[in-house]
Amino acid sequence: MSTQAAQRKTPAPKTGADKAVSAEPVRTEDTAKTEGGPALSLAGLHFFIADISRKTILWHESASQSFHSEIKDLQQAPSAEALRLLTPEDRKNILRLVQGAIKDGKAGPYDVGGGPDHRIPGIPLMAYRYEMPDGRLLAICFPSLGEGDANPGNVVLGLAPILQHFVANSNRVVLLVDNFGYVRFASEAFVQHFRISDARLILGRNIAHVQNRVGRTLVSLTIAALTRRASATGRTRFLLPSSESVELSYDAMYFRIGGNVGGVLFSAGQIGGDVDFSKVFDLCSSAMVVVNTNTRMIVAANKSAMKAYGLTPEIMDVKPITETLLHPRSYSNLLDSAKQGSEVPMSVVVNALNGQSKKKRLKASLIDTTKVPKLVLEARA
């Protein structure tokens, strides 16, 4: 083998510069999406202008509907780069919108930003052609509900996700019906109070067609608010299809946004109002504990129980009730009694953590049976 051939086969030693280059991360498709200049996100979009000849997009969006909101000035980027964060379907619709405006003078509305499952309404975009003095053609696009909209800049981007965010951990009974009478949102508390087995049985359906599921009282109230275009407030007994009834203090608010968007927001609560039941729980003189039936962990204990049984938050967090207060057999008997709906207290041995074991009469009840049932154990004299 010649010396030159050996030199060609032997790799040259890496210099410091070579090592720095080789240490750079590989640029993947995912990193390419997040890097680069500005990109359209459709959050708080005011308008965008597509320049056909230069293949650029100029836009303004406040981003007020994102958690990481930033107020920015006008932004501009090449079309491919500006649309890189959007879904392929949204990019296709925007391209169709721009091409339609250039060809016919105007186009739309086309929905974009609705998400892959289309459960959340998208942004309806309109586009108009504009010819510059130098002959360049622009497509000026903006959110709009159509030509009949009194205020094209105001677009409702789905009230249901917003309501869901605010009532997720609330006991409020909330129902949203649009101005055409279709049910758009029902809170979990609404489904429970009105004894609806599955929210999908009413969502997307006209309120007048689901009277056999929500009862005639609510249907009459909602239709009256829509017809009269007026709100209503009061307290009444809502008749349910099962011949039962639920008494609620309610507000039926009629609202209107723009020319075509509106409806009735029904919000209700128990007659007693927003009582802090944790304080009521602690005021009870009887020792009471609440047990998660899946894990057998004590999830709550009032002050009387903490004192009588020697409980501490640390012990409640790490040990199930069958390793502290009750024998597993006693716990099973109490759970069976609760499932049978027995009103008679059971006499069982309770092993207090202060070393004393005494027989106590415990009344067992089950609550929150629709999710993870909780066993309430109340000491009786």
| All domains in the chain, ordered by first residue | 37-143 (3.30.450), 159-270 (3.30.450.20), 277-380 (3.30.450.20)
pLDDT value at position 69? 43
Distance separating the N- and C-terminal Cα atoms of the chain: 103
Least confident of 132-141, 149-158, 302-311: 149-158
pLDDT value at position 70? 52
Closest CA to 252 of 238, 240, 241: 238
Q: Alpha-carbon dihedral of residues 160, 166, 170, 176, nearest 10 degrees?
A: -30
pLDDT value at position 35? 53
Dig out the tokens for 39 from the structure. Answer: 């990109």
pLDDT value at position 72? 63
Q: What secondary structure letter does DSSP report for 111?
A: E
pLDDT band, very low/low/confident/very high, at 57 (cuts 50, 70, 90): very high
Distances (CA, A) of 23 to 27, 28, 51: 12, 15, 40
pLDDT band, very low/low/confident/very high, at 78 (cuts 50, 70, 90): very high
pLDDT band, very low/low/confident/very high, at 326 (cuts 50, 70, 90): very high
Are 104 and 111 in contact, with CB atoms under 8 Å apart? Answer: no
pLDDT value at position 10? 44
Cα separation, 249 vs 276, in Å, equals 17
Residue 201 sits at φ, ψ, to 5 deg, of: -75, -15
H/E segment holding residue 365: strand 357-367
Instruction: Tell me the per-residue pLDDT of 283-299, one tens digit each, with 9 for 90 and over.
Output: 888 899 999 999 999 98
Q: What secondary structure letter does DSSP report for 181?
A: S
Return the amino acid letter for 134.
D
pLDDT value at position 183? 86
**Among residues of the chain, what percentage have pLDDT more than 70?**
72
Average pLDDT rounded to a whole number, residues 353-380: 86
Instruction: Tell me the per-residue pLDDT of 103-125, one tens digit each, with 9 for 90 and over.
Output: 998 988 887 766 554 444 567 78
pLDDT value at position 372? 79
pLDDT value at position 154? 34
Cα separation, 178 vs 181, in Å, equals 5
Is the pLDDT higher at 153 or at 186? 186
Are 321 and 302 in contact, with CB atoms under 8 Å apart? Answer: no
Is the alpha carbon torsion for 236, 239, 245, 250 positive or negative? negative
Cα separation, 151 vs 174, in Å, equals 28
Q: Alpha-carbon dihedral of residues 42, 48, 50, 54, nearest 10 degrees?
A: -100
Instruction: Tell me the per-residue pLDDT of 16-56, one tens digit each, with 9 for 90 and over.
Output: 434 333 333 333 333 334 456 888 877 667 788 999 889 99
Distances (CA, A) of 343 to 151, 230, 290, 322, 380: 61, 47, 17, 23, 12
Least confident of 65-74, 170-179, 318-327: 65-74
pLDDT value at position 361? 92
Q: What secondary structure letter does DSSP report for 162?
A: H
Average pLDDT rounded to a whole number, residues 291-316: 90
**Highest-scoring range by mean pLDDT, 165-179, 251-265, 269-283, 351-365:** 351-365
Q: Alpha-carbon dihedral of residues 212, 218, 220, 221, nearest 10 degrees?
A: -170
pLDDT value at position 39? 85
Dig out the tokens for 211 from the structure. Answer: 């009277």
Least confident of 221-230, 268-277, 368-377: 268-277
If you average pLDDT over every residue of the chain, what do you get? 77
Least confident of 52-66, 81-95, 126-140, 346-360: 52-66
Instruction: Tell me the per-residue pLDDT of 263-275, one tens digit each, with 9 for 90 and over.
Output: 888 998 876 555 5
pLDDT value at position 363? 92
Dig out the tokens for 206 from the structure. Answer: 């006209």
Which residue's structure tokens are 């009459």?
A: 220
